[in-house]
Chains A and B, each alone.
Chain A
Amino acid sequence: MSTTLFDKVWDSHVVRKIEDGPDVFFIDRHFIHEVTSPVAFLGLKERGISVLYPERTFATADHNTPTINQHLPVEDALSANQLKALEENSKEYGISHWGLGNVKNGIVHVVGPENGITLPGATIVCGDSHTSTHGAFGAIAFGIGTSEVEMVLSTQCIMQPKPKKMRINVAGDLQFGVTPKDVALYIISKLSTSGATGYFVEYAGEVFENMTMEGRMTVCNLSIEMGARGGMIAPDQTTFDYLEGRLFAPKGESWDSSVAYWKTLKTDADAIFDEEITFQASDIEPMITYGTNPGMGLGITKSIPSSKDVAEGEETYVKSLGYMGFNQGDAMIGKQIDYVFLGSCTNGRIEDFRAFASIVKGRQKADNVTAWLVPGSHVVEAQIKEEGILDILTESGFVLRQPGCSACLAMNDDKVPAGKYAVSTSNRNFEGRQGPGSRTLLASPFMAAAAAVTGVLTDPRDLI
């Protein structure tokens, strides 16, 4: 029978099917961080059970870490306590731990791929919804709750009904200045934040085939923002080239046999999806969000739609625009902004910093803008320095911070003040996401850079 990429990986990991219930689903690789794991370890202790396969779990501190002075003790007592719990739990159960200050430390969804832990055909979970990032490699990867973290620690399995399958095709070539982030924000704006709920998505078509691994990670990362549990892209030569030689990637003969297996991981020509959608790349322009969920996005040259033209009910839509301080019919270009955040598991990789630097080079940061540039990992930070990007940023008046999730969810001190506008390369523009009362405009690194040097929303194509 013809099967999809998703079927091949899912079906090969089902330990047991429960009648009128979920599948017992085996997890190859498990990432943990300081925020969603402590209660899971507590649960293990209360039940008196242990970690079944400590070598399959990888711990990194990221959500709650400062992005300056990481060599000093963490000031916030609660944050310090979570970091300590992660370290101690990892040590107690024999789990590898990349804590603050470790050269491999960084955002979980950046360091996993960077170290070759993420592999095609693997099943990967983490107590974080953006685990969908790893689907870029042809893995099934998705976020789980803390109860499920405890399940994976204790038995390397979770209990999940198999999701339905959706394929999203983007045909043709992207236009000048349009990035993977714009592709994802465009799709979400068309499907809404619940359009893919209950589905697992496969991205297909020339646009994704021609994308770098980092671009694919950005797209798969945002799958959750359309409600999908995850998204994946069939592995190809681009995937293999990225992985070869990375720390945990197979080596020697094992590499050859792995690549042979990975080449089988694709959707059969006549396989059927529960839902199939096709978009044209030529319809996509640089995107910006204007509301309080990632589905409320539009092309930068467009104006905010009228309540009559949106799916949300009047009350919800008016509340959202009221929070943002915007009006129906407003043009986006020219709106004054206060903060710029470059970073996160969505856009905190080296290509994102290259893109940002390409626009700010030879220009100066606008005086009204506070900019936080936060690399996704120490490896990214080192690349920024090696490639001379840091020099460009410094000359343009920007400062580079240290790795972490930072202002994406503002658990640390990187909080956008109430009422202020932030152009952010992160993934969520929910009310208060970047600090109580903060107003977030999601965009690509190009868009963020254009806003950072002009102080207002600007079409990045004018500056590239």
Chain B
Amino acid sequence: MAYDKFNILTSTAVPLSIENVDTDQIIPARFLKATERVGFGDNLFRDWRYNNDGSPKLDFVLNNPTYSGKILVGGRNFGSGSSREHAAWAVYDYGFRCVVSSFFADIFRNNCINVGVLPVQVSAEFADKVFKAIETDPKTELEVNLPEQTITLKATGDKESFDISGYKKDNMINGFDDIDYLQNIKSEVIAFADKLPY
């Protein structure tokens, strides 16, 4: 499924400074029963966000109207655990288009790019600055510039560059995905497969 094009995103951000946020927290397994990719945002961080009776936990950041925006700033080792792409779907469906962290788990990071959420890995120092800036002023804005591969704290001008492969960057800017690419080289794949032992 092709997704929204990503170029420059300027937005306030939602801070979630806890470390090792795993995909079972992002979307618990009992909400993986759909056969279509719809409605996962409602259950994003379900057990941190809601009590058992469905009432919101008021101390959780997504329930705090002070914080909003299209950018989620997570603690170190964000997205560890399960390969469930539903975690990335939930992040996207809730309305986030970018996740910032000082360290991402591998599969989650990959899944994010595949569904149109840009993972931006920054230094621990920069992540600290972002958390402090949001704490000081929840309306502070971040600018994520994909063509230039930079993230900027608008208020202070603090800027850092981030990594993404040229191929993935072009995909996100143009709204292409890997399946488009693979479809175009199918005959090459078939010729390759004929030479393999299995």
Could you list which residues of chain A lie within 8 angstroms of chain B, going by C-beta atoms? 12-13, 15-16, 18-22, 24, 26, 28-29, 35-36, 38-39, 42-43, 46-47, 49, 52-53, 63-64, 76, 78-79, 81-82, 85, 119, 121-122, 127-129, 131, 143-148, 150-151, 154-159, 161, 163, 193-194, 197-198, 224, 227, 229, 258, 261, 293, 312-313, 315-316, 319, 409-411, 418, 428, 430-433, 436-437
Knowing A38-B36, A85-B35, A432-B47 are in contact, say whether A144-B83 is a contact too (CB < 8 A): yes
Q: How far is the CA of A293 from the CA of B21 in the complex (A)?
A: 10
CB-defined contacts of B106 to chain A, threshold 8 Å: 163, 197-198, 227, 229
Tell me if B82 and A122 are in contact (CB < 8 A): no
Q: How far is the CA of A147 from the CA of B178 in the complex (A)?
A: 9
Tell me if B52 and A436 are in contact (CB < 8 A): yes
Q: Which of B47, B82, B181 has the most CB of A within 10 A?
A: B82
Tell me how far the C-beta of A166 lies from the nearest C-beta in chain B, rounded to whole angstroms: 13
Tell me if B22 and A161 are in contact (CB < 8 A): no
Tell me if A433 and B24 are in contact (CB < 8 A): yes
Q: Which partner residue on chain B sits nearest A47 by CB separation?
A: B179
Tell me if A155 and B183 are in contact (CB < 8 A): yes
Tell me how far the C-beta of B99 lies from the nearest C-beta in chain A, rounded to whole angstroms: 15
Q: Which of B29, B30, B107 has the most CB of A within 10 A?
A: B29
Contacting residue for A197 out of B1, B105, B197, CB 8 A: B105
Q: How far is the CA of A322 from the CA of B188 in the complex (A)?
A: 55
Q: How far is the CA of A433 from the CA of B76 in the complex (A)?
A: 20
Contacting residue for A122 out of B1, B22, B28, B198, CB 8 A: B198
Q: How far is the CA of A42 from the CA of B82 in the complex (A)?
A: 22
Tell me if A430 and B47 are in contact (CB < 8 A): no
| Cβ of B68 under 8 Å from chain A | no
CB-defined contacts of B110 to chain A, threshold 8 Å: 145, 148
Tell me how far the C-beta of A424 lies from the nearest C-beta in chain B, rounded to whole angstroms: 14
Tell me how far the C-beta of A417 lies from the nearest C-beta in chain B, rounded to whole angstroms: 11
Tell me if B182 and A143 are in contact (CB < 8 A): no
Q: Which of A26, A64, A157 has the most CB of B within 10 A?
A: A157
Knowing A26-B196, A145-B88, A432-B24 are in contact, say whether A316-B75 is a contact too (CB < 8 A): yes
Tell me if A197 and B47 are in contact (CB < 8 A): no
Q: How far is the CA of A52 from the CA of B187 in the complex (A)?
A: 11
CB-defined contacts of B189 to chain A, threshold 8 Å: 15, 24, 26, 52, 155-157
CB-defined contacts of A21 to chain B, threshold 8 Å: 165-168
Q: In B71-107, which residues have CB < 8 Å from any A CB?
A: 75-77, 80-86, 88, 103-107
Q: Which partner residue on chain B sits nearest A159 by CB separation?
A: B178
Cross-chain pair count, CB within 8 angstroms: 203
Tell me if A15 and B192 are in contact (CB < 8 A): yes
Q: Which partner residue on chain A sits nearest B24 by CB separation?
A: A430
Knowing A28-B198, A79-B33 are in contact, say whether A148-B114 is a contact too (CB < 8 A): yes
> A22-B165, A76-B33, A145-B84 given. 19 additional CB < 8 A pairs?
A15-B185, A16-B188, A19-B167, A24-B185, A26-B189, A38-B35, A39-B36, A39-B85, A79-B33, A121-B197, A129-B83, A144-B107, A147-B1, A151-B178, A154-B179, A161-B165, A193-B77, A197-B106, A431-B24
Tell me if A159 and B105 are in contact (CB < 8 A): no
Tell me if B167 and A22 are in contact (CB < 8 A): yes
Interface residues on B, range: 35 or more
Knowing A47-B179, A129-B82, A436-B47 are in contact, say whether A78-B111 is a contact too (CB < 8 A): no
Tell me if A150 and B167 are in contact (CB < 8 A): no
Tell me if A156 and B107 are in contact (CB < 8 A): no
Tell me if B35 and A194 are in contact (CB < 8 A): no
CB-defined contacts of A64 to chain B, threshold 8 Å: 33
| Cβ of B159 under 8 Å from chain A | no
Q: How far is the CA of A155 from the CA of B24 in the complex (A)?
A: 30
Q: How far is the CA of A443 from the CA of B49 in the complex (A)?
A: 30
Tell me how far the C-beta of A88 lies from the nearest C-beta in chain B, rounded to whole angstroms: 10
Knowing A28-B198, A46-B1, A127-B83 are in contact, say whether A159-B111 is a contact too (CB < 8 A): no
Tell me if B183 and A49 are in contact (CB < 8 A): yes
Tell me how far the C-beta of A126 lies from the nearest C-beta in chain B, rounded to whole angstroms: 8
Q: Which 9 A-B pairs have the closest CB atoms?
A: A21-B167, A20-B166, A145-B85, A143-B83, A78-B33, A38-B35, A145-B111, A147-B114, A129-B83
Q: How far is the CA of A197 from the CA of B166 in the complex (A)?
A: 21
Tell me if A316 and B105 are in contact (CB < 8 A): no
Q: List 27 A-B contacts (CB under 8 A).
A: A13-B196, A15-B189, A38-B35, A49-B183, A76-B33, A78-B33, A122-B198, A128-B82, A144-B83, A151-B178, A151-B179, A155-B179, A155-B182, A193-B20, A194-B105, A197-B106, A313-B75, A315-B17, A319-B18, A409-B29, A410-B30, A411-B33, A430-B24, A431-B25, A432-B25, A432-B47, A437-B52
Tell me if B105 and A151 are in contact (CB < 8 A): no
Q: How far is the CA of A61 from the CA of B19 in the complex (A)?
A: 33
Q: Which partner residue on chain A sits nearest B184 by CB separation?
A: A155
CB-defined contacts of B197 to chain A, threshold 8 Å: 121, 258, 261
Q: How far is the CA of A156 from the CA of B194 in the complex (A)?
A: 12
CB-defined contacts of B144 to chain A, threshold 8 Å: none
CB-defined contacts of A431 to chain B, threshold 8 Å: 24-25, 47
Q: How far is the CA of A271 from the CA of B151 in the complex (A)?
A: 39
Tell me if B37 and A312 are in contact (CB < 8 A): no
Q: Which partner residue on chain B sits nearest A38 by CB separation?
A: B35
Q: How far is the CA of A82 from the CA of B185 in the complex (A)?
A: 32
Contacting residue for A28 out of B75, B107, B182, B196, CB 8 A: B196
Tell me if B25 and A430 are in contact (CB < 8 A): yes
Knowing A20-B166, A197-B105 are in contact, say whether A418-B83 is a contact too (CB < 8 A): no
CB-defined contacts of A411 to chain B, threshold 8 Å: 29-30, 32-33
